Structure 1
Amino acid sequence: MSGRVRYLLALAAISVSAYAAPLRPQVDVSGYVITADLDPSKNELTATAKVTFTALEDLSSVTLELNNGLKITKLTDGAGATLSADRVATDSTVHITPSKPLAKGETATYTFEYAGVLKDADTSPVEGIKIAAVADPISILLYPGRWFPLSGLYTDRFTAEMHIVVPKGETAIASGAGGHKDIAGGKTQFDFNWTKPGLPGTVIAGKFAEKTVGNIRTYTTEKHAGDAAGYGETAAKEFEFMSSTFGQPESTRVNLVELPDDAVSSTWGPEIAAIAGSRWSDRNSYRLLANTVSRQWWGSEISPATLNDAWITNGMARYSELMYMEDANGKNSLQSAIPDISAGALAYDTVPISSIGRLDPFSPQFQSMSYEKGAMVYHMLRWEIGNDNFIKFLRNLLSVYTDKSVRSSDLQSLAGKMNPQATTLEAFFAQWIDGTGAPAFQNKYTVFRLGSSKGFRTIGQITQDLDLFRMPVELRIETDGKTEIRRIDVSGSESQYTVETFGRPRRVTIDPDNWVLKSTPDLAVRVAVLRGQQQAAQGDLIAALNEYQKALDANKNSSLANYRIGEIFFLQKNYQSAANAFRDTLRGDGDPKWTEVWSHIKLGNIFDVTGQRDRAVNEYRLAIQTNDNTQGAINEARARMASPYKREKTDE
């Protein structure tokens, strides 16, 4: 399996773990007191959780979520009365019968005693993804793993006092660290207390080495200890950029923690940014790290009120990643990333972003809409109101709603205060939050020479297919001399413009810097490829091939589509077809550039597998000559120059 495929599967794992199956919240949990004992030698968790909540409606039954691997051994209410609970494994819930019905607004406290084996993904609330496991050398009790009874995943904020017991020699990391002490039985108890309404439900424990880099404290296994300093420095730079941009978060401490490689690629909680160990040494994982660090603001400091509002934090986490990339590598790096984000935004744009709570939150549709389209909404809002106002708006959003949940209407109201043309923003949110689709711009223009050396006048018309669309669009006029930039208000299906320039216009381009989400032939190819990648990540290779063929139908020279086809044939051990596809990649349009270096590597792999070492070495040499180290390509080529590629067990 190639590095690119692993990266795709990693992204799929990250996105799948984002939300629970949709449940209408019956209760508002305000706080927990949890004591948990971890036994990695037996993969066992034994815990007691005192849950305080308020009924949101009259209730004769209370429903909470709990990992299927955990069995409730005792359940009592605040008066000490024993309660009964029925387990529903299909949605990882327990249904509790109170000693007397609860009235709307009534507050109650239930105490759960429970235990069980948490080892792999078999009992996970998210099918196929390990997000709760007690193991050696790393135990993960992630908030989405429902290792304690909860309601309203990522939407219901609470406080948490936790006492985590681990074998002596291990360290536990969670939100609101208080201290630790050795206790009987050769164990150590770590105490945590997060007193602000938030989402402090993640605990990671293991045999960690600690290192401090500025305000970043790293926790790694011995295997990755050598990567701690460099990765910690990167996290510190990202945290500093985001602090200067968004304002100081609720806590200036960040614990950068290693996750096991067979779990999710990343997760977060207050004061926690956790990344899979294999990514710590990957220079290209700084975007994943930036996205995760940004959650101290977008998820921890504020959170969505409902799943319909998930785009507010998911989208801004993605856009924070892009903003850091822009700051670190320049404006061009942001612009080059936008086409891929746009493809994700349009891949499943069939329902308004304000209604994504209707979708299965584990689906590619939900993820594409909340992350990619959400990021594009912020990107376009930045263009609409200006960069300075955009930063003020973000800071204001975080300040007004600190420790609170946010709705789309709240965000729109605050954004309106940043723009004197409130009616323009009403049209903006109507299109991008409550509507679907994107304009397909067409530009027709005529150039007239003005007399007496006064220059030229360009009279044009921008057309597009969304009758209700209204938004300013950038127009670039390239002339014999100076390039002119104009901001044109596009409203409805036809918009006229007139521009005067001194030099003769040679080319007029609509939205050259990709500030607006729009439909283009190139984007249609990217959308089909993205959908194919998501099908491949879910194991449906036939459906993936169908999507890639759609991309080739739109652009028969698409290097990206041909490369993805080659990957699938390679996984199926159809080496001749794979080789043909990788050669078509090299003969294609070369977009994106990394397809060249990785096609040479994959051809080298094929020649190694088929016993043609000389031809393999030549392909690795050609890969090195590209001088493109995307996803460690040159490092991989050099390694294969030294020793032949062999099929991995996962390929079997």
Structure 2
Amino acid sequence: MRVCLLRKTIAGIALSFVAVAALAAPVRQQVNVTAYNISADLMPKTSELTAIAIVTFTALDDLSQVSFELNNGLTLTRVTDAKNVVLPSERLAANSSVRFNLATPLAKSSQNTWTFEYTGKLVGADTSPVEGIKTAAVAEPISVLLYPGRWFPMVGLYTDRFTAEMHIRVPADETVIGSGSGFAAKKTLPANRAEYAFNWGKPGFPGTIIAGKFLEPITAPGVSNIKVYVTEKHKAGAVDFAQQADKEFDFMSSLFGPPESGRINVVEMPEDLGLSASWAPEMVCIAGQRMDRNSARLLSNTIAHQWWGSQVSPATLNDAWITNGMSRYAELMFLEDSAGKNAFQSAIGDVSAGALAYDTEPLTTLGRVDPYSPQFQSMTLEKGAMVFHMLRWEMGDDNFNKFLKTLLTQYADKGIRSSNVQTVAIATAGDESRDNLAPFFAQWLDGTGAPAFGNKFTVFRLGNNKGFRTIGAITQDLDLFRMPVELRIETDGKTEIKKIDVSGTDSQYSIETFGRPRRITIDPSNWLLKSTPDLAVRVAVLRGQQLVAQGDNTAALVEYQKALDANKSSSLASYRIGEIFFNQRNYQSAANSFRDSLRGDGDPKWTEVWSHVQLGRIFDVTGQRDRAVNEYRLAVQTNDNTQGAVNEARASMQKPYKREADN
């Protein structure tokens, strides 16, 4: 059994949102699809999908050649235009698409309707457009047809908005969930089949269908608009999950305004997809193993896409930071509201590490970066979130909240660009911050890097018992940087907070206090994305984790060693190294690393409990049961049940840990 714990802000989100955040390859879009009418049959016993999709689209140029993306597991049997002329096609497996060479070109701005008939088996990840992830699979007990799975012919993933009417036929003992009215539109068919009809009439992304042997929808007491669809296996936590979803949905509705629909269907996804969450209008799709109390942040991030992704969407790949970043920041804002400032500050530190891990391209040029790469994911999610966090600091809470609501209202059912964000921010900012916003966006959207702050100062005593004057300068290494920066001055008496306008590499300040300053801290509340020695450790560890996820343990060890070079007592870096050695069955080296983690700085706190659990497992697999039980006992004594660590330790005290056989 492999443990892959990340700090709470990263766990289950950064790696799971490939299917949410990743967008289509950066090629010029040829057509704009406006509407679908899809009729599909799912045969779970044979993993087959057979469908007819009527696609209405507009040509964006004069076209003699047209391409649509379509899952490689599906084969076109017939494609016709509005005059019923058959259109020959060719499969381009390298980019999961089909191409049509047209005998009669399409004129620019012409509206066209083509009918696609296709069939195929959707089984594993081999045919998926997203490597290593089952984005479309027809199976028992749950079939998943995610919008990123290209199970119907499409263009402009998460940028090309459309309406959709869908008729989905499944075995009669299955329930189908989609966007728009479905359950009420159920129709019983011959041969023990049933049909569900869905109609989403607003331009958006109603392209996800999940069908399975679900129980009757589960709700929480007094909550009728949140329904949870689960199999028997995950029934126990469904009510709690519905209650948590209700809290998060209400919080975001009050923060952002009413969503496009007041209904949310939380749907269980299979555990072997390779991702933790996905979304569609009215749908929050969560992997079965994540439907528990420890997944509140994953749930809130996914719910946030009802606004940031569904109500407004990126106009291009260069604008993906807006919706991905704001969904991440909405997650953090709910964390702040529900768990307090300390939890929020801890999460900001982790998001900052993600923002700096691959910060070599400006956010507004990410269209030229592979959208499935760790860089694209980290930048759009983590740096995008930090841009909104810093913008909140610049604008103040009231103006920031007004700004968010204005964005959602003004661009509802539309694509949004980075320039639109800047325009609305300037229009809604107060007089104090308005002049700062143009350089703010130039720095954080069109630039790279983060300042490394320094502080040099001298304290002078004032005469006649008037206190002290501190004369100093904030230094940093980005010549073009300009932002207000907070200083916390801790004195013999009260602590004072001052705001200093920092511009360029050396910004002077003079502050008078009654008590003698004992300590001066730059940006004590972590409002700014900045480079620090602590973040250097987190960045190296994060890059190592992503390399492990890609199967490159050797390169990951190099990154973890960089973290130890920056902080020899890093518990997190030692834990990660131990994790690699454990997976390689190098048990002595793994044990040494887990002990180093226990002797380290204890950051993050969960490294203690999980190091004991891992040591217990090592002793179990090497036949030292007494020593294993002692480690499990020490794990229980920490009373830290992060990711179920204490539960795991108690179970292993009763029954020795046995390692799963390698595939």
Please tell me the TM-score bracket, short chain as reference: over 0.9
Tell me the TM-score normalised to structure 1 length: 0.98
CA–CA separation in structure 1 for the residues paired with 2:35 and 2:540: 45
2:17 pairs with 11, 15, 38, which one? 15
Letter in 1 for 2:461: R
Return closer, same or farther for 1:324/1:10 CA change in 2, 3 Å cut-off: closer
CA root-mean-square deviation: 1.2
SS at match of 2:207: coil
Say if 1:234 and 1:286, in contact at 8 Å, map to a contact too: yes
Indicate whether 1:555 and 2:575 are aligned.
Answer: no
1:212 pairs with 215, 219, 225, which one? 219
CA shift at 1:2, angstroms? 3.6
CA–CA separation in structure 1 for the residues paired with 2:510 and 2:640: 44
Indicate whether 1:592 and 2:607 are aligned.
Answer: no
Could you list the structure 1 runs, at least 4 aligned residues long, displaced by more than 6 angstroms after superposition. Answer: 6-9
Indicate whether 1:416 and 2:426 are aligned.
Answer: yes
Letter in 2 for 1:591: D
- Structure 2 residue aligned with 1:271: 282
Letter in 1 for 2:402: K
Say if 2:2 and 2:583, in contact at 8 Å, map to a contact too: no
CA shift at 1:99, angstroms? 4.5
CA shift at 1:424, angstroms? 1.0
- Structure 2 residue aligned with 1:187: 193
CA–CA separation in structure 2 for the residues paired with 1:9 and 1:36: 35
SS at match of 1:123: coil
CA shift at 1:636, angstroms? 1.0
CA–CA separation in structure 1 for the residues paired with 2:466 and 2:13: 56
Letter in 2 for 1:611: G
Say if 1:73 and 1:113, in contact at 8 Å, map to a contact too: yes
Indicate whether 1:604 and 2:616 are aligned.
Answer: yes
Letter in 2 for 1:211: I
State the aligned residue count: 650
SS at match of 1:211: coil
CA shift at 1:122, angstroms? 1.1
SS at match of 1:383: helix
1:232-381 alignment runs, 5 A limit: 232-263=242-273, 264-281=275-292, 283-381=293-391
- Structure 1 residue aligned with 2:116: 112
SS at match of 1:115: strand
- Structure 2 residue aligned with 1:57: 61
CA shift at 1:212, angstroms? 2.3
CA–CA separation in structure 2 for the residues paired with 1:225 and 1:519: 45
- Structure 1 residue aligned with 2:524: 512
SS at match of 2:595: helix
CA shift at 1:12, angstroms? 6.2
Say if 1:585 and 1:596, in contact at 8 Å, map to a contact too: yes
Indicate whether 1:82 and 2:86 are aligned.
Answer: yes
CA shift at 1:5, angstroms? 4.8
Say if 1:316 and 1:378, in contact at 8 Å, map to a contact too: yes
Say if 1:460 and 1:496, in contact at 8 Å, map to a contact too: yes
Say if 1:20 and 1:126, in contact at 8 Å, map to a contact too: no
CA–CA separation in structure 2 for the residues paired with 1:331 and 1:168: 49
Return closer, same or farther for 1:543/1:9 CA change in 2, 3 Å cut-off: farther
Task: Kindly provide the CA deviation profile for residues 497-549 of structure 1, in whole angstroms up to 9, marking residues without a partner as x.
Answer: 11111111100000011100000011101000000000001111001001001
CA shift at 1:6, angstroms? 9.0
- Structure 1 residue aligned with 2:547: 535
CA shift at 1:637, angstroms? 1.0
Task: Kindly provide the CA deviation profile for residues 53-103 of structure 1, in whole angstroms up to 9, marking residues without a partner as x.
Answer: 001111001111000000111100011111111110010011113341011
CA–CA separation in structure 2 for the residues paired with 1:239 and 1:330: 18
- Structure 2 residue aligned with 1:390: 400
- Structure 2 residue aligned with 1:494: 506
Task: Kindly provide the CA deviation profile for residues 298-346 of structure 1, in whole angstroms up to 9, marking residues without a partner as x.
Answer: 0000000001000000001110110010000011111111111011000
Tell me the TM-score normalised to structure 2 length: 0.97
1:166-205 alignment runs, 5 A limit: 166-178=170-182, 179-205=185-211
Return closer, same or farther for 1:6/1:531 CA change in 2, 3 Å cut-off: closer
SS at match of 2:24: coil
Say if 1:4 and 1:631, in contact at 8 Å, map to a contact too: no
Say if 1:12 and 1:534, in contact at 8 Å, map to a contact too: no
CA–CA separation in structure 2 for the residues paired with 1:608 and 1:268: 41
- Structure 1 residue aligned with 2:4: 4
Unaligned 5+ segments in structure 2 are none
SS at match of 2:4: helix
1:23-42 alignment runs, 5 A limit: 23-42=27-46
CA–CA separation in structure 2 for the residues paired with 1:412 and 1:12: 26
Unaligned 5+ segments in structure 1 are none
Return closer, same or farther for 1:294/1:9 CA change in 2, 3 Å cut-off: closer
- Structure 1 residue aligned with 2:143: 139
CA–CA separation in structure 2 for the residues paired with 1:602 and 1:344: 26
CA–CA separation in structure 1 for the residues paired with 2:30 and 2:374: 27
- Structure 1 residue aligned with 2:533: 521
Say if 1:159 and 1:195, in contact at 8 Å, map to a contact too: yes
SS at match of 2:199: strand
Indicate whether 1:152 and 2:126 are aligned.
Answer: no
CA–CA separation in structure 2 for the residues paired with 1:474 and 1:370: 26
CA–CA separation in structure 2 for the residues paired with 1:250 and 1:291: 17
- Structure 2 residue aligned with 1:407: 417
Letter in 2 for 1:293: I
- Structure 2 residue aligned with 1:638: 650
CA shift at 1:15, angstroms? 3.0
Percent identity, please: 67
